[in-house]
Amino acid sequence: MLLPSFRLDHKVALITGAGRGIGKALALGFAEAGADVVIISRTEADLQQLAKEIRYLGRKAYPIAANIRSRAEIEQAVNQAVEQAGRIDILVNNAGMNIRSKALDVTDEEWETIMQTNLKSAFICSQLVGSLMKEQGSGSIINISSVGGHVALRTGVVYAASKAAMIQMTKVLAMEWGKSGIRVNALGPWYFNTPLTEKLLSDPVYLGEIISRTPMQRVGELPELVGPAVFLASDAASYMTGQTLFVDGGMTIFGF
């Protein structure tokens, strides 16, 4: 029996928060796997640079600047993506942020900002793109959650709550949309070397604490997240839905 395909040829992927870090790495990885990529971010300069890199790989790139905290802007971005690319086969809800406040210091504004960015935007994108995928009869949605949605961390209670909710949302959407040929899964990363973690990981004490809680004794590199994401998006994962795949160097088996 031949192995199922890990390629993404003839597919169009839409990735939010694609300007840098995880989103950028996934956009380039999906392009290498054969997909054309709709890249969404608030920063036009980042999008244009990434679009050049995707096109250098021989794939089409569709940069769209949008604030994913606005339903109106998401709707406009999805409509623009369909107009330009023709369809959306893969959705990666990657946009996210954190404010590292202790629970007693969290403000209403911080709560709303994190929840809108991490959770509400992912649901709205899934709702809009899911409707298109239902008409197509197929699609793969990948939510970028976190180990923080599965185990308790010391700070970032709102971030943790948003990522835990994303894991549960993944399960419910998979349950509801499976009959329509739509698979919904999530990735749960631990610490990876990205522009957002650079300052934290430059502190040797902090880095030491992270490594001491990671069986593989190191943080992740972005190419190590690309492979699992391509797998979930591809036909190789055609019978996999409602799952959260932790890419964490073993952290979640160790705990705190």
Strand segments (E) across the chain: 12-16, 36-41, 61-65, 90-93, 139-144, 182-189, 244-247
Distances (CA, A) of 105 to 132, 161, 172: 41, 16, 32
| 81 contacts 61 by C-beta, under 8 angstroms | no
Full-model pTM? 0.95
Task: Give the pLDDT confidence of 160-200 residue by residue, as tens digits.
Answer: 999 999 999 999 999 999 999 999 999 999 989 988 888 88
For the chain, the domains span 12-250
Kindly report each contact of residues 128-133 with a partner whose C-beta sits within 8 Å and lies 24 or more positions away, as own/partner. Answer: 128/74, 128/75, 128/78, 129/14, 129/78, 129/88, 129/91, 130/91, 130/173, 130/177, 130/182, 132/78, 132/82, 132/87, 132/88, 133/88, 133/89, 133/91, 133/177, 133/180, 133/181, 133/182
Q: What is the pLDDT of residue 1?
A: 53
As a whole number of angstroms, the distance between CA 3 and CA 40 comes to: 33
Distance from C-alpha of 194 to C-alpha of 229, rounded to nearest angstrom? 17
Handedness of CA 85, 89, 94, 95 (dihedral sign): positive
CATH number of the structural domain 12-250: 3.40.50.720
pLDDT computed for residue 3 by the predictor: 75
Question: What whole-number distance in Å separates Cα of residue 191 and Cα of residue 252?
Answer: 12
The gap from C-alpha 73 to its chain's centroid, in whole angstroms, comes to 19
**Contact at 8 Å (CB) between 125 and 16?**
yes
| Buried/exposed code over 144-173 (b: 16+ C-beta within 10 A; e: otherwise) | bbbbbbbbebeebbbbbbbbbbbbebbbeb
Task: Please say if 159 is a catalytic residue.
Answer: yes
Count CB neighbours of 180 within 10 A: 15
Per-residue pLDDT, 229? 98
Q: What is the Cα gyration radius of the chain?
A: 17
Positions in the chain short of pLDDT 70 = 1, 254-256
| 39 Cβ contact partners less than 8 Å away, ≥ 6 residues apart | 15, 18, 19, 23, 27, 47, 50, 51, 54, 61, 62, 63, 64
